[in-house]
Amino acid sequence: MIRLAAPALTAFALLAGSACAADLTAMTDAEREAFRAEVRAYLMDNPEIIIEAVNLLEERKATAQAEADVSLVQANADEIFNDGFSWVGGNPDGDITLVEFMDYRCGYCRRAKPEVAKLLENDGNIRVIVKEFPILGEASMISSRFAIATRHVAGDEAYKQVHDALMEINSDLTDVTLRRLADGFGLDSDAILARMDSEEVTQEIAATRALAQRLQISGTPTFVLEDELLRGYLPADQMELIVADKRDR
């Protein structure tokens, strides 16, 4: 019975507040056991109270996390929105900026890609920034190095072509595969492959990784939408609602 009383006591404390918790410390063992029995009996008769307490706790945690995320974004705004190397698309002069930390081998990133495209198609006033954040192994790292090297060698338009193609590739990324990909877009495959292991490419990936750590980002996709961190996949309609809310503020 005492083992079962512990979660009930926790739920009661959430509802009753700190004053009740302080009173419990002054009780005798017998009084405390009687109190626990009463709480358990009440909760057995009203189990919805536990659900309400848990929901309230989760809501408070989510609110606290959102407030902490806003502070993190503000503290790292320059590197998030103007790092000087991440690819920028959509409307470069848009009134809303969407930043995506992505990994080419992430299934949810691949699901998110058409959703982001739909958002940009429906709303022509959004600036989008792609952050190369390879965290899912060697294939992810090779993909990001190849994409960044492409931008260094051939520019932003070529980067976008390669970026889109890499999001579709499931095969192993050998030199032969990468050369065929570059050649298919009329790019200098020799120059791109030579650039992949350069210090400049390594530094960009390291800088993005360090930024992600400061933002407490551990998974992909993660979005920064203005001052808000959106951790995980979101369909276009949900992002549209958030964008509308940002503009109404």
Reported in sequence order, the residue ranges of the chain that DSSP labels E, i.e. its strands, are 87-90, 96-102, 126-132, 222-225, 228-231
CA-nearest of 126, 249, 115, 113 to 169 is 113
**Is residue 97 within 8 Å of residue 81, measured between CB atoms?**
yes
Q: Per residue in 59-76, pLDDT tens?
A: 777 666 667 789 999 999
* pLDDT given for residue 23 in this prediction: 66
Q: Per residue in 3-35, pLDDT tens?
A: 344 444 455 554 454 445 546 677 888 888 888
Q: Which residues pair with 97 in a beta bridge?
A: 127
User: How far is Cα of residue 218 from the mean position of the Cα atoms in its chain?
Assistant: 8
The token pair at 131 is 């952050």
Band of pLDDT at residue 57, cut at 50, 70 and 90: confident
- Mean local confidence (pLDDT), 49-53: 78
| Total-model pTM | 0.76
The domain locations on the chain are: 2-66, 77-248
Q: In what order do the strands lie in the sheet with 222-225?
A: 87-90, 126-132, 96-102, 222-225, 228-231
Amino acid at 164: D
Write down the CATH superfamily of domain 77-248: Glutaredoxin (3.40.30.10)
